[in-house]
Structure 1
Amino acid sequence: MQDDNKRFVERDRDWHPPAYAPGYKTSVARSPRQALVSLQKPSVSELTGPDFQKLRMGPHDNDLLLNYREEGAREGRSGLPIGERIIMFGRVVDQFGKPVPHTLVEMWQANAGGRYRHKKDSYLAPLDPSFGGVGRCLTDAAGWYRFRTIKPGPYPWPNGVNTWRPAHIHVSVMGPAIATRLITQMYFEGDPLIPLCPIVQTIDDPEAVETMIGRLDMARSNPMDCLAYRFDLVVRGELQTYFENQ
């Protein structure tokens, strides 16, 4: 992300995993082999972008329990997704704790069985006919965002003989321009699969891993309905959230 005068800030590359990480097998072929290109002077396209305050949002864009229901389904009857209902919320702030207002936050995830609604996902878990797995919202004036969804399930992937991805939700934060888009994942506090994941293992700094873990927040939970997980996004600076596309 950029600061108020639109200048790019150099990254701390010790915070990020090496480009070549053989333990994460599918990344090997796409890892860069040439020297990095220095960004001398950002172009207009890298400094400007859409005004998301004018983006028209649907009534249930941030509610994944409702935004993919079967036509005519009613609350409490058929048509609601299967799985543990949760709330995912947090603030988008800069390194000084200043909120990033009216920015677009998007998320996508697997269903409760660990399967994505994607044509290339062939995992044997069934699709949920009432769950699409995608949502979006705008942060408010204080930088807060909120989603209601289903806790995703873990799933196997062919990185090793018995390799599993921890339950996670992908998150995209859009800054003032396309070039400032940041992407990360939220894992769930206490998941024993987190330290076993080859993708997580590419990150040497334990503090960087901690920035990707959503924390249970009973105060924000809905009694008899949803547990809540807080996941704040620090978009730059020394305490920034680890973003996988940096």
Structure 2
Amino acid sequence: MVDPIPFRPVAPGSQPPLDLPSYRSTAHRHPSQPPLRMPTTLTEASAPSFTPAWYAPHDDLSVVDGKQALGERMIVAGRVTDENGRPVAGAMVEVWQANAAGRYHHARDQHDAPLDPNFHGEGRVFTDAEGRYSFTTIKPGAYPWRNPGPGWRPQHIHFGLHGNGFAQRLITQMYFPGDPLLAFDAIFQGSGDDAAKRRLIADLDPELMRPDWALGYRFDIVLRGRAATPFENA
């Protein structure tokens, strides 16, 4: 029998707090009472089934009906692993983002930046046997929001990772190196200690680039443990 690998809990301060005063919306959605442990039923553990058979992959966000979106085309790729570097295979990775002008393709986004009819800003991929994923998109623009600071969110892409069941979902954000707005962003600055925040910034990766076509960024995701990617908890 193989000895089990011990669980290494996250270090205090390396994950975002549930209530972050500088991020105003957390005041309305974070739990106000101590959590209750509820038994996991078959429904939470196994349904729905997040597989390509049920959810068709969509790995190129940069084209709609054969027409190219405006903006800086890029390839984003990485691996999803556990705390010991073992690949997480078959995980559904959802992504959503603003367009190159900083506007979401959503009715509630009333930012006066232009919409792009050839960019819907949503995609879905699955990790392979080695935990790898990849998709093509457009670099998102910054956009205004009502929080302290300069009032602009840095460029970012939202990630939602699904496991075997509906209760197994983790949400995080990917940022870009050198973005000056990171220093003022309440969400990024509230994402844990300096090492944790660094894990939210993608690396410009020449190996992923396609000459005369797209830049490449690498964003690896660790699901738990001391080197875990910071995830949204509220």
TM-score, normalised to structure 1's length? 0.85
Which of 168, 175, 181 is matched with 1:180 structurally?
168
How many Å separate the matches in 2 of 1:88 and 1:164? 23
Which of 63, 69, 75 is matched with 2:60 structurally?
63
| Matched-pair contact (CA < 8 Å) for 2:83–2:223 | yes
How many Å separate the matches in 1 of 2:187 and 2:55? 35
Moved more, 208-217 or 196-205: 196-205
How many Å separate the matches in 2 of 1:245 and 1:191? 24
How many Å separate the matches in 2 of 1:109 and 1:228? 17
Q: Post-superposition shift, 1:30?
A: 2.1
Question: Paired residue for 1:88?
Answer: 76
From the superposition, tell whether residues 179 and 13 of structure 1 become closer, same or farther in structure 2 (CA, over 3 Å): farther
Which of 48, 71, 90 is matched with 1:102 structurally?
90
Deviations 1:74-113 (A, max 9, x none): xxxxx21000000011011111111111111110000000
Question: Paired residue for 2:40?
Answer: 42
Which of 177, 182, 190 is matched with 1:202 structurally?
190
1:29 aligns with 2:28: yes
How many Å separate the matches in 2 of 1:12 and 1:41? 27
In the alignment of these two chains, the number of paired residues is 228
Q: Post-superposition shift, 1:36?
A: 2.5
From the superposition, tell whether residues 204 and 95 of structure 1 become closer, same or farther in structure 2 (CA, over 3 Å): closer
| Matched-pair contact (CA < 8 Å) for 2:95–2:122 | yes
- The letter for the 2-side match of 1:146 is S
Partner SS, residue 47 of structure 1: helix
- The letter for the 1-side match of 2:225 is G
TM-score, normalised to structure 2's length? 0.89
Q: Which runs of 5+ in 1 are unaligned?
A: 74-78
**Identity between Structure 1 and Structure 2 (%):** 43
Partner SS, residue 13 of structure 2: helix
1:160 aligns with 2:148: yes
| Matched-pair contact (CA < 8 Å) for 1:53–1:102 | no
1:233 aligns with 2:221: yes
Partner SS, residue 28 of structure 2: coil
From the superposition, tell whether residues 14 and 45 of structure 1 become closer, same or farther in structure 2 (CA, over 3 Å): farther
- The letter for the 2-side match of 1:95 is E
How many Å separate the matches in 2 of 1:25 and 1:44? 36
Moved more, 46-55 or 206-215: 46-55
Q: Post-superposition shift, 1:128?
A: 0.3
Q: Post-superposition shift, 1:13?
A: 5.5
Q: Which runs of 5+ in 2 are unaligned?
A: none
From the superposition, tell whether residues 34 and 13 of structure 1 become closer, same or farther in structure 2 (CA, over 3 Å): farther
Higher relative contact order (CA 8 A, sep 6+): 2
Partner SS, residue 199 of structure 1: helix
Partner SS, residue 106 of structure 1: strand
| Matched-pair contact (CA < 8 Å) for 2:16–2:231 | no
From the superposition, tell whether residues 205 and 126 of structure 1 become closer, same or farther in structure 2 (CA, over 3 Å): same
Moved more, 143-152 or 154-163: 154-163
| Matched-pair contact (CA < 8 Å) for 1:152–1:168 | yes
Q: Post-superposition shift, 1:27?
A: 1.8
Q: Post-superposition shift, 1:116?
A: 0.1
How many Å separate the matches in 2 of 1:56 and 1:210? 32
